[in-house]
Structure 1
Amino acid sequence: MSFASPFSLAICTITALAFLGLPIGHSMIAGSILYLLLAGQDMGTAAEQLLNGMYTNYVILAVPLFILAAEFMNIGSMTDRLLTFCNALVGRFRGGLAHVNILQSIMFAGMSGSAVADAAGSGRMMQAMMTRGGRYTASYAAAVTAASSVIGPIIPPSIPMVLYALISNASIGYLFLGGVIPGLLMALAQMVIVATTARRRNFPIEPPVGLRALPRITWQAFPSLLMPVVLLGGIYGGATTPTEAAALAAAYALIVSAGLYRSVSLRGLYESLAVSARSTASIGMLIAGALVFNYVVTAENIPDTLRGILAGWELSPTAFLILVNVVLLLLGCVLEGTAILLVIVPVFIPTAKALGIDLVHFGVVVVVNIMIGLITPPYGLLLFIMTNISGEPLRDIVRECLPFLWAMLVALAIITFVPETVLWLPRLMGYQG
């Protein structure tokens, strides 16, 4: 491929604009339009691809609805009650609040589908709880919050899995089921690190909650705990599609927060809608840019070319998965996860199909890789969020995150090389892949 070819110039344009600070979605649209111009194609094709992609993929609507559900939880007291419930369960162990942080991420994961929503929502409260009275250093509290937030998009529902379903045509329902055991495995790996560190640093033990108080705390948190049941029960019971379930989740969160807990003000409602709109617009531009750029990639026959190259290497399915893991982990150090998912992953999917790799298993492996990238320096988005929340230097948070990062890489290896960790639950529910 010539460096002066339309595709090469488009790539250079996208890279240059991104480095200059233009959002990656806008950069991809600009580079793709330049390609169409230089290739002599109708530049209106960009608008056609964008509109067709956005308006014919009903599943995209699930993304803003899951974001909205998370915001409705945060403006109410649903998150507070979940934290109290988690503290009653695991606060009594050494390093209890760190375990609480991980447990609440597991529960929050069944409601929001977003790592950023988890870190930005309950992250502030966990940071304050863990550092109160000097019980934990601010950098350690921030590291635990960042690492545990990774669990959110692995356990269903999951916004990245919705986007993966968009590009692969894999079943969202089975992808959601496939993420349950890997998500719990990631949580277990993190809890092992917390337990080991707690003994070494002599972390405090929280006052145990008496058995008499436990039923009351559980009852107060019960409407919040019921949300994943409502959400996933609708999907797997056949009553709702994933998109309809996302709308149901948002409505349920608002009804519980405003009607039952009576903790929603008009100002809070407005702010939650505004934050959701901004987040949706940001993700929407990424999707739009990816849809246009994917047309360019297809027009240049990049997927088939890559498949031919990989076929020449005669990779086994295991070797291919190792290659994908290495590439995605390296890209996660410098690129935003959604951009990787929408631009890079579609290039690998034809080869995965040709090698007989199950697309549900491949999708979960991809999502786990991308989530690990959220706490991988130098770009890790969750690291920046927790730096802002905690006020601690990035280097201190990164240092505390490293043990969690190594533990999650071990979990990723298990998920990659033991497909049944992903496929057991979907097959139990009738998946034939």
Structure 2
Amino acid sequence: MNLASPFSLALVAITALAFLGLPIGLSMICGSILYLALSGADMGIVAEQFLNGMYSNYVILAVPLFILAAELMNIGSMTERLLSFCNVLVGRFRGGLAQVNVVQSIIFAGMSGSAIADAAGTGSMMQKLMTDGNRYTPSFAAALTAVTSVIGPIIPPSIPMVIYALVSDASIGYLFLAGMVPGLLMAGLQMVQVAITARRQNFPVEEPVPLREIPGITWRALPALFMPVLLLGCIYSGVTTPTEAAALAAAYALLVSAVLYRSIRWDALYRALLSSSKTTASIGMLIAGALVFNYVITIENIPESIKGVLTSWDMSPVVFLIFVNILLLLLGCFLEGTTILLIVVPVLIPTAQALGIDLVHFGVVVVVNIMLGLVTPPYGLLLFIVAKISGAPLRDIVRDALPFILWMALCLAVITFIPDVVLWLPRLLGYQG
């Protein structure tokens, strides 16, 4: 590569601006403008790519709607009712409150589609419950909240899978189905580790819920429990598209919290709308920057060049998937997941297609890798979030999270080398891949 070429200078500009603190989305836009200026191209291309990508793609609209649904659930009493129901299911076992943390992540996974929303929404509540009376150390409670939160974007619905569908043209519906078994497998392995740690460290056993209270707790949680059933049922029955289902999820969360539970105040609703708007704007700017920079990458023929290099190495699909896992796990230690999805993954997709790798299988492998990156140091965004919530030292949280991360790596290996674990459910419901 010519280090004085417009593309090389654009990469330098993006890297320098990002290190100086400019958001990565704006950095990519600035670097792309520099590339177009140096190459003598029409500067209006930046606006054209931005407008065509952001306003002609119906899929992107699902992202802010799922974010809003998560915010509305968190300000209502849906969270408390669901936690009470989870306690009925697994609270009676040793380390039961830790098992509740895992189970609630499975349930919330069918609602928000965001690991950060799950960690921020239920994280502070679970932290308070687990550390009350010194039943669990703050670092273990925080570590468990971090690792269970990654289940959210694997079990449908999933914001990262929506973004992957945007860059790969894979079916969102089949991607959602493909994440179901890996997500449940990961949750099961986490529950195994909780049971092992509970026995080893003699975690407390919670007071069993009296039988006479179980029907009432279940009844009060039923409207919230119905949300993932409604959401996924509408998608897979064909009644709605995933984007329309996201709108339905937000409307249902507002209806249940405001009308049935009567737990939303106007000031809390305003804060929820403001928070979801800020998050949407941040993700939208990142997608906009990626759309413009992906145009530059396409002009430079980077995906085809990388495809030619990798295929010339005579890689088998298995070797390529190992290469992708190593690459994404390393990048996940330093880069934010959406950036990897929008910039790195599109470059790898042509090679995956050339090797005959199913794009739905590839998408789940990519998303699980990115979720692992959220809990691996030094970047580990979820680790920073739970450290702030808990006040526990980051090194202690990483130590307590390590056994869970190893189980998650095992889950990644299983879905990488046994595609049927991922594709079984989609094929059962009509997928031809």
Instruction: Give TM-score scaled by structure 2 length.
Output: 0.99
- 1:383 maps to 2:347: no
- 1:418 maps to 2:421: no
Distance between the aligned counterparts of 2:423 and 2:260, measured in 1?
A: 38
Provide the residue aligned with 1:170 in structure 2. 170
Q: Deviations over 1:370-394 (max 9, x none)?
A: 0010001011110110011011111
Provide the residue aligned with 2:15 in structure 1. 15
For 2:169, the aligned partner's letter is N
Provide the residue aligned with 1:113 in structure 2. 113
Distance between the aligned counterparts of 1:103 and 1:280, measured in 2?
A: 28
Note the C-alpha offset of 1:422: 0.8
Provide the residue aligned with 1:286 in structure 2. 286
Distance between the aligned counterparts of 1:35 and 1:122, measured in 2?
A: 44
Distance between the aligned counterparts of 2:412 and 2:125, measured in 1?
A: 29
Provide the residue aligned with 2:301 in structure 1. 301
Distance between the aligned counterparts of 1:55 and 1:386, measured in 2?
A: 35
Q: Deviations over 1:197-244 (max 9, x none)?
A: 111110001111122221211111000000001101111111100000
- 4+ residue segments displaced more than 4 Å: none
SS at 1:197 equivalent: helix
SS at 1:117 equivalent: helix
Distance between the aligned counterparts of 1:212 and 1:355, measured in 2?
A: 58
Distance between the aligned counterparts of 2:183 and 2:148, measured in 1?
A: 10
Provide the residue aligned with 1:327 in structure 2. 327
- 1:38 maps to 2:43: no
Provide the residue aligned with 1:432 in structure 2. 432
* 1:62-81 matched pairs, under 5 angstroms: 62-81=62-81
Provide the residue aligned with 1:374 in structure 2. 374
* 1:201-280 matched pairs, under 5 angstroms: 201-280=201-280
Provide the residue aligned with 1:153 in structure 2. 153
Note the C-alpha offset of 1:40: 1.1
SS at 2:11 equivalent: helix
Aligned residues: 433
For 1:327, the aligned partner's letter is L
Q: Deviations over 1:268-321 (max 9, x none)?
A: 111100000000001001100100010011010000000000111100000010
Q: Deviations over 1:13-68 (max 9, x none)?
A: 11111111111111111111111111111111111111100011101000000000
Note the C-alpha offset of 1:185: 0.7
For 1:314, the aligned partner's letter is D
Greater shift, 327-336 or 35-44, is seen at 35-44
For 2:146, the aligned partner's letter is A
SS at 1:212 equivalent: helix
Q: Deviations over 1:71-122 (max 9, x none)?
A: 1101100011000000111011111111100100000000000000000001
Distance between the aligned counterparts of 2:349 and 2:379, measured in 1?
A: 25
Distance between the aligned counterparts of 1:41 and 1:345, measured in 2?
A: 26
For 2:180, the aligned partner's letter is V
Distance between the aligned counterparts of 1:10 and 1:215, measured in 2?
A: 62
Distance between the aligned counterparts of 2:127 and 2:38, measured in 1?
A: 52
Distance between the aligned counterparts of 1:12 and 1:257, measured in 2?
A: 48
Distance between the aligned counterparts of 2:37 and 2:102, measured in 1?
A: 50
Provide the residue aligned with 1:362 in structure 2. 362
Distance between the aligned counterparts of 2:177 and 2:213, measured in 1?
A: 34
Distance between the aligned counterparts of 2:421 and 2:26, measured in 1?
A: 38
Instruction: Give TM-score scaled by structure 1 length.
Output: 0.99
Provide the residue aligned with 1:348 in structure 2. 348
SS at 2:211 equivalent: coil
Provide the residue aligned with 2:184 in structure 1. 184
SS at 1:116 equivalent: helix
SS at 1:147 equivalent: helix
* Residue segments in structure 2 that go unaligned for 5+ positions in a row: none
Distance between the aligned counterparts of 1:15 and 1:98, measured in 2?
A: 41
C-alpha RMSD over aligned residues: 0.6
- 1:86 maps to 2:75: no
SS at 1:136 equivalent: coil
Distance between the aligned counterparts of 1:127 and 1:421, measured in 2?
A: 33
Distance between the aligned counterparts of 1:205 and 1:341, measured in 2?
A: 42
